[in-house]
């Protein structure tokens, strides 16, 4: 028995645009009814990451027999993950296996974008596990191939290290309806995608507006345009974030400089306070010295006043003596007067000797 996965992988009916779209419930329900070895034929450009992982894990969980995944045309993106989930991977002549990183369309704050980026990294790691189960390459080598959106023919897949068997069944390449495009798709792979398909001829009895393929192609183009516009918006946001980061770095640098200046100012202020304290002590000492000087000056003034008064008195006495108003007192040259006037013991001893000699009466 075989299950045909020949359209986009979608999560639910709300995301389904075409009858060929495949939901996890379809594969899981089909596997539940099987018994023994089964095959899954794949010609899909991928689709929803979560839905693709659900299908891949359901294939891995199948324990009633072997699961053989046949790549009939293209197993791109999440379809390549499904192809690697089986016990055996087969690729037909001229078929392609494409690996790349998951992507999303998102909007919101910088925190929202960072959270979505972290989620995409986790999804990439989950996808990487399925590729590693079928490849001999290291995780870093496979990541590099995913980063580059790598398209591989059957021979190239083998050369890359994928365990690939030949699929000999018949399959005619035909353009497949797609809602996404791949920038790195080789020219040979475009036969399976709707890159350059000409507009199909409209039935004579059908109005152009009823051509569902044309309508969906128009929606695909609008989606691609919206995706491109969103990518441009993300790039602009990235530039804005980088500019804001630059401003934040500049503000942090300025803040550090201000902190350094504040620390220097605090040190200068402390030194100024210490200097002011020293000056206050010196000022107190100067005030005390000035007060003592004022006291000395007052005493000097008093002494000078007394001397001036005494000089005035002597001058007045001199004038009166000169005028004859006063008579100078007689000089007492007696022994008793001289002994009384003597100031030292030597003077008194000399006076005694002079009296004994009869020189003084």
- Annotated active-site positions, please? 77, 100
Tell me how far apart the terminal alpha carbons of the chain are, to the nearest angstrom: 175
82 vs 131, 159, 174, 240, 361, CA distance in Å? 10, 20, 21, 38, 159
Residues 25, 28, 32, 38: is their CA dihedral positive or negative?
A: positive
Rounded CA separation 335/360 (Å): 6
Measured CA distances, 266 to 262, 270, 272 (Å): 6, 6, 10
The span from the CA of 180 to the CA of 220, in Å, is: 7
As given in the structure block, the two tokens for residue 315 are 């001058």
Q: Are 79 and 42 in contact (CB under 8 A)?
A: yes
Task: Give the number of other Cβ atoms within 10 Å of residue 168's Cβ.
Answer: 9
- CB atoms inside a 10 Å sphere around CB 15: 14
Render 152-206 in DSSP notation, one character per residue: EEHHHHHHHTB-EEEE-S---------S---TT--GGGGGGS-SSPPPPPPPTTS
Torsion of CA 241, 244, 250, 256, to 10 degrees: -90
Q: Which two tokens stand for residue 247?
A: 């401003």
């Amino acid at each position: 028995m075989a299950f045909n996965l020949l359209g986009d992988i979608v999560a639910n009916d709300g995301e389904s645009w075409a009858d060929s779209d495949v939901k996890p419930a379809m594969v899981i329900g089909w596997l539940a009814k099987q018994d023994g070895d089964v095959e899954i034929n794949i010609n899909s450009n991928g689709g929803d990451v979560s839905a693709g992982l659900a299908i891949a894990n359901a294939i891995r969980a199948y324990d009633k027999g072997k699961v053989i995944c046949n790549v009939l045309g293209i197993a791109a993106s999440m379809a390549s993950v499904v192809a690697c989930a089986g016990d055996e991977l087969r690729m037909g002549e001229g078929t392609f296996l494409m690996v790349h990183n998951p992507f999303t369309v998102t909007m919101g704050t910088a925190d929202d974008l960072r959270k979505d980026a972290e989620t995409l990294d986790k999804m990439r790691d989950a996808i990487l596990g399925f590729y590693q189960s079928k490849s001999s390459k290291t995780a870093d080598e496979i990541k590099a191939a995913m980063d580059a959106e790598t398209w591989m023919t059957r021979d190239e897949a083998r050369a890359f290290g994928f365990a690939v068997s030949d699929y000999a069944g018949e399959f005619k390449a035909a353009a497949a309806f797609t809602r996404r495009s791949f920038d790195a798709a080789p020219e040979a792979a475009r036969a399976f995608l709707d890159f350059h398909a000409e507009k199909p001829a409209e039935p004579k009895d059908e109005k152009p507006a009823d051509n569902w393929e044309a309508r969906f192609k128009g929606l695909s183009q609008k989606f691609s345009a919206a995706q491109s516009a969103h990518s441009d918006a993300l790039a602009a946001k990235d530039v804005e974030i980088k500019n804001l980061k630059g401003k934040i770095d500049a503000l942090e640098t300025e803040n550090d400089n201000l902190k350094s200046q504040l620390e220097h100012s605090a040190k200068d202020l402390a030194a100024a306070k210490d200097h002011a304290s020293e000056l206050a002590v010196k000022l107190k000492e100067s005030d005390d010295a000035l007060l003592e000087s004022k006291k000395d000056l007052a005493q000097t003034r008093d002494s000078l006043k007394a001397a001036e008064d005494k000089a005035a008195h002597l001058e007045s006495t001199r004038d009166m003596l000169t005028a004859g108003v006063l008579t100078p007192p007689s000089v007492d040259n007696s022994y008793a007067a001289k002994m009384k006037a003597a100031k030292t013991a030597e003077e008194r001893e000399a006076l005694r000797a002079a009296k004994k000699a009869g020189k003084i009466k």
